[in-house]
Structure 1
Amino acid sequence: MRRLPAIEREIGKIRDDDFRVKILGVIVDRDETNQCALIDDGSGKAVLYFMSRENFDMAREGKVVRVIGKVRREENIEIDVEIIQDMSNLDLALYEQVRYVLNEGG
């Protein structure tokens, strides 16, 4: 079975018709009991739910991560995490410049 591709989105721009998204942000809070975390990308916050303890353990407070997952239709933005990647070594300023150039076409 083929999966739908993940759309790269800012949290604040997630649309109702988005099914699978790719988010880059900072983990700002964790809940050990419910195995969930809060991610902030500067445009908004989302609650991340983890099915695997290994993935949850990668979501440490203050760590820059990219997550890919399915969007839940709830009051707040919630994502069922399928993949998490440590992006701590990413040059965020350069990343933002590249995104700006790609989005503005210039």
Structure 2
Amino acid sequence: MADEQKQIIRRAPAVPKKISDLKPEMGRVCLAGTIISKNKDIGSFILDDGENKILILTNDPKEFEQLREGTFIRVMGKVWGQEGELEIQADIIQDFSKIDKELYNKVVYTKFRE
């Protein structure tokens, strides 16, 4: 066991995107928006970025239970599905309720759309 070497697995960076910019071939993305509804049966919720909505799937029941409708959050995860039927498999969900939503969108999306 002492001779075993740890294998470090690095994730690809999550690129900030608006829901309308998502494509099936994209890897990891970062979305910010408001939770508008939750589905406890499958551990998912609908995220609204102010322009569009998308289904977000979670794997952590404890984390899912802490999510509240109406909360502004940031999600990092993998794009799944086909054009017109995309969803996100969440890796990280962060509470952004104390972040100024308009300022965040202005700074992040202006920078990454240039």
TM-score by length of 1: 0.87
Task: Please name the residue that 1:91 is paired with.
Answer: 100
Residue pairs, 1:4-83, within 5 angstroms: 4-74=12-82, 75-83=84-92
Letter in 2 for 1:57: E
What is the total number of aligned residue pairs between the two structures?
105
Kept in 1: contact 2:24–2:86 (CA 8 A): no
- Structure 1 pair 3/100, CA: closer, same or farther in 2 (3 Å)? closer
Kept in 2: contact 1:11–1:46 (CA 8 A): yes
| Structure 1 unmatched ranges of 5 or more | none
The alignment's C-alpha RMSD in Å is 1.8
CA distance in 1: counterparts of 2:42 and 2:113, whole angstroms: 40
What is the Cα deviation at residue 97 of structure 1? Answer: 3.2
- Structure 1 pair 34/101, CA: closer, same or farther in 2 (3 Å)? closer
CA distance in 1: counterparts of 2:18 and 2:51, whole angstroms: 6
- Structure 1 pair 104/72, CA: closer, same or farther in 2 (3 Å)? closer
Letter in 2 for 1:65: I
Larger Rg: 2
1:102 has 2:102 as partner: no
TM-score by length of 2: 0.81
CA distance in 2: counterparts of 1:50 and 1:104, whole angstroms: 28
| Structure 2 unmatched ranges of 5 or more | 1-8
